Structure 1
Amino acid sequence: MSGMLDGKTAVITGGASGIGRQIGRRYAEEGANLVVADLQNEPREGGTPLVEEAESMGVSATYVECDVTNTAQLQAAVDAADEFGGVDVMVNNAGIFRGKEFTAVEESEFDQMMDVNVKGVFFGAQAAAKKLLEDGREGSIINMSSVAGLTGSAQYTTYCASKGAVRLLSYSLASELGPEGIRVNAIHPGLIETEMTTEDVPIIGTEGGDQYKQSIPLGRWGEPADVADGALFLASDLSSYVNGESLVIDGGMTYA
């Protein structure tokens, strides 16, 4: 590896499993210290916890229990980066995925979607920005949106609304924080093979999903590593003039 993130510290919400875990691996490979902020330390997909993997790569890492709907816990996750010199990269990755007919959505379900997917990103970004400003440091904030936040989709109204909000929030923050040297960008993954798309809302591995895959120009489902490479770019100096961008990682499915 080239050490693209040597000396930097990244806080990753939802970092124990799925896409967040792979982002953490990629960052650790490139020399970043990690704060893994999640509801649990054990990966949903099984295997070695990210903190242990990262430490085996020679970087420092710590796990912080974090419910992103709790602003105090988000602040604690950002503060934990002080152990390694302070936050440089904030990845607001934690999120939930649900599908339901619009007329059947209950208020509690709407509130949960917005609390996790929007409030969690908003106040995660705020905690990181306040810390960076306090320390007089430049940094990168990466917010996980979705292709659903670009196009909308029947049966996924609350999810699409939440991810669309993340997209516009990211644009707004890029404008407000850019003059302070804090870049803010959004990633829009397509269908990525994780527990979220195989268990929470079973799409991948189903007959209907297999038919849908045929419409993806690259002819395959996305993998967490595909998203992690994009997140590495946005965290590194390679993207030093990239601010307010929506990075779509979907194999071409959105515009096919």
Structure 2
Amino acid sequence: MSEPLLDGKTAVITGASSGNGRSMARTFAEEGADIVVADIRDEPREGGTPTHELVPDETDADAAFVECDVTNRSDLVDAVDAAEEFGGIDVMVNNAGIFRSEDFTEVSEDEFDQLMDINVKGTFFGAQIAGERMAANGGGSIINLSSVAGLSGSPDHVTYCTSKGAVRLLTYAVAAALGPDGVRTNAIHPGLIETAMTTEDVPIIGTDAGDQYLQGIPSRRWGQPDDVADAALFLASDLASYVNGESLVVDGGMSNSQ
């Protein structure tokens, strides 16, 4: 039997109580990583056992929950500090984010600031804090969650596209800054993934408009959180030891077929 891909490593995952982050936490734990769930809430939006309790029930890995508002730098410090309980941080996944659909001409300053604070500021300081710790410890992997909306513009999601485009460029810059210290930084660009974000917050999946989107996806199915988790597992593991400053698109071919 082959050795687990993340054996002996510790991952901090923001927004890991629900959706893509929850799936990443479970997948990483199955591959040997201890997990720090950093989220504003511990209850999964989809229901069920909290992630930090589920991980030790399902795997041999340990897990801890840290209440974390990613717009607050000190909360991110606490999350990275919590990894010391398991030997120190090896993987940082800046996953927490929000999605919004809007009329560009009606976006308020408060709405703009909220989205930028969570999607961009949270990712920036998550990478900064974790990257400094990893560099001191000899290396690690930072994974930032961008979106296909960070690759091209959409008239209905201008602020979201702006934030996720910023995450993409941030990823490239951090990869250049921390690469010499053995820290790899990469971005994942999910397409339409079936989570509460796309079924409740901004309903797309399960709507008539969503059915039209589906016809533009060559794989002819909605993405699942496990699809994103598997991509993150690759980037977190030594299989991607020479992958740095890259954008991994997980969208069933949608962005290249339009």
User: TM-score, normalised on structure 1?
Assistant: 0.98
Alignment partner of 2:17: what SS? coil
Matching residue within 85, 88, 92 for 1:86: 88
Task: Render the CA deviation track for 1:75-115: whole Å, top value 9, x for unaligned.
Answer: 00000000000000000000000010100100000000100
Which amino acid in 2 is paired with 1:113?
L
The aligned runs of 1:49-128 (5 Å cut-off) are 49-56=50-57, 57-128=59-130
More off after superposition, 19-28 vs 48-57 = 48-57
State the 4+ residue runs in structure 1 displaced beyond 3 angstroms.
Answer: none
Which amino acid in 1 is paired with 2:67?
E
Map of 2:6 onto structure 1: 5
| Alignment partner of 1:36 is 2:37 | yes
Which amino acid in 2 is paired with 1:61?
A
The aligned runs of 1:104-253 (5 Å cut-off) are 104-134=106-136, 136-253=137-254
Gaps of 5+ in 1: none
Task: Render the CA deviation track for 1:147-183: whole Å, top value 9, x for unaligned.
Answer: 0000111110000000000000000011110010000
Alignment partner of 2:100: what SS? coil
Alignment partner of 2:60: what SS? coil
Question: 2:98–2:118: 8 Å Cα contact kept in structure 1?
Answer: yes
Question: Matched residues in 2 for 1:28 and 1:133: separation?
Answer: 23
Question: Matched residues in 2 for 1:133 and 1:174: separation?
Answer: 12
Which amino acid in 2 is paired with 1:17?
S
CA shift, 1:2, in A, is 4.5
Equivalent pairs, count: 255
CA shift, 1:250, in A, is 0.1
Question: 2:147–2:188: 8 Å Cα contact kept in structure 1?
Answer: yes
Question: Matched residues in 2 for 1:21 and 1:71: separation?
Answer: 22
CA shift, 1:220, in A, is 0.5
Which amino acid in 2 is paired with 1:187?
I
CA shift, 1:67, in A, is 0.3
Which amino acid in 2 is paired with 1:71?
R
CA shift, 1:133, in A, is 2.5
Question: Matched residues in 2 for 1:132 and 1:227: separation?
Answer: 23
Question: 2:135–2:182: 8 Å Cα contact kept in structure 1?
Answer: no
User: TM-score, normalised on structure 2?
Assistant: 0.98
Question: Matched residues in 2 for 1:88 and 1:110: separation?
Answer: 32
Task: Render the CA deviation track for 1:10-41: whole Å, top value 9, x for unaligned.
Answer: 00000100000000000000010000000111
Which amino acid in 2 is paired with 1:129?
G
Which amino acid in 2 is paired with 1:92?
N
Question: Matched residues in 1 for 2:230 and 2:45: separation?
Answer: 21
Task: Render the CA deviation track for 1:184-219: whole Å, top value 9, x for unaligned.
Answer: 000000000000000000000001101210110000
Gaps of 5+ in 2: none
RMSD: 0.8
Alignment partner of 1:254: what SS? helix
